[in-house]
Amino acid sequence: MPISTLRAGMVNRLWLLAWAVAASLAPAATYVLPTNHDTVVGDVHVVQVHGDSTLLDVMRHYDVGYDEIVSANPSVSVWTPDTAAQVVVPSKYALPPKPWAGIVINIPQRRLFYFPAAKHHEQPVVMTYPISIAREGWATPLGETRVIAKYRDPAWFVPDSIRAEHLREEGVELPEYFPPGPDNPMGMLALQTGFPGIYIHATNHPWGVGMRTSHGCIHLYPEDEAALFPIVAKGVHVRVIDEPVVIGREHGQWTLSTYAPVAEYANSLAPYSRALVAMLPVIESMRDRPYMDIDWDRIALLVSHPQPFPIAVTVGQPAGQQIVEKLPVETYAFPSYGTDANNAALPAGSQ
């Protein structure tokens, strides 16, 4: 065997080992699926930031996205949070409507959920990651498809439409071709879906995860793509949905999570009407006194002020602020990721 072939094989094995180690250090995002008819996983945290960390550092460490962390902390500065500020980390999620199989992407929630097929005697689990979605004027197709290919170190041939848009809006012409590497907008790992031109891939701008930054592709933190890429096989089912109101159930209580509707997905119903439609199964299940048991004022408030983590909507249950006030305050003293981590490479230690 030629020396060059041996060297290439060795480099490839070392590369794979590095990604495997980094994936094992990725933030915990795997939860055992509830078996008691509940549909909520995770926990909310409250942290006090020390040092020079920003909300961007906090969100990446806890594996939440920009939209989630800002919605949960509207009065906290993104770049210079006060050291006395208590930052709410909304790492609690209402699962998407069933079926729970393969990859489910809820665009308004800006979350990807992966439901791997459970092996014999194993408990079913869900893995969830924050995502960036399509920018204004663009949209990811809704519906069902599959993963049709997987690429390591992809190159990117920039479509003419994107180059023209960038020149028009930024006054700078993009190159026709981005080679593989940490500065490639495709990231270093990519899953191709059956939707033309739509990939689930890492990003070279992780601080933008949770924003509207793509032209239809789904962007993940590099460490999240490194965790997802090895375990998703070609052929895995992908379902993309538009659900700005997600009904959940936790400890026997009905909950609601709300997200800003995405204008590119036209809907004839107003946000509150969409919430009422989403609540119909709940109303039907509460046959005796449904209207008296549901806190309709709270539902109206949650619709008008998006709430990223689930809140009970039955009368007498604590509101979001009351829940947060009872949580212990944890110290956040992790090192800042630094501006040099805003690329497609894995951060040092994958924090």
pLDDT of residue 292: 63
> Is residue 217 among the annotated active site residues?
yes
Q: Higher-confidence residue: 11 or 227?
A: 227
Range of the domain at 132: 40-241
pLDDT tier at 314, thresholds 50, 70, 90: confident
Residue 97 lies in a domain: yes
Residue 343 lies in a domain: no
Q: Higher-confidence residue: 278 or 193?
A: 193
pLDDT of residue 159: 81
Helix pair 296-304, 271-285: axis angle to 10 deg: 140
Closest among 35, 41, 199 to 118, alpha carbons compared: 35
Query: Could you tell me if 90 and 148 lie in one domain?
Result: yes
pLDDT of residue 349: 61
Q: What SS3 state is found at 303?
A: helix
Query: Could you tell me if 130 and 185 lie in one domain?
Result: yes
> Is residue 45 among the annotated active site residues?
no
| Residue 232 pLDDT exceeds 70 | yes
CA angle 126, 134, 280 (to 5 degrees): 55
Mean pLDDT of 288-300: 79
Query: Could you tell me if 85 and 99 lie in one domain?
Result: yes
- Cβ–Cβ under 8 Å, residues 123 and 31: no
- Cβ–Cβ under 8 Å, residues 124 and 32: yes
pLDDT of residue 289: 60
Query: Could you tell me if 249 and 237 lie in one domain?
Result: no
Residue 81 lies in a domain: yes
| Residue 181 pLDDT exceeds 90 | no
Query: Could you tell me if 51 and 184 lie in one domain?
Result: yes
pLDDT of residue 350: 59
Catalytic residue selected from 45, 61, 201, 219: 201
Average pLDDT, the chain: 87
pLDDT tier at 291, thresholds 50, 70, 90: low
Catalytic residue selected from 45, 61, 215, 217: 217
Residue 186 lies in a domain: yes
| Residue 303 pLDDT exceeds 50 | yes
Mean pLDDT of 53-75: 95
Residue 345 lies in a domain: no
Query: Distance (Å, rounded) from C-alpha 103 to C-alpha 144?
Result: 10
Q: Among 20-29, 68-77, 129-138, 215-224, whose mean pLDDT is lowest?
A: 20-29
How many domains, the chain? Answer: 2
Give the CATH number of the domain where residue 154 resides: 2.40.440.10
- Residue 256 bridge partners (DSSP): 247, 311
Query: Could you tell me if 211 and 148 lie in one domain?
Result: yes
Mean pLDDT of 306-319: 92
Helices vs strands, H then E, count in the chain: 9, 21
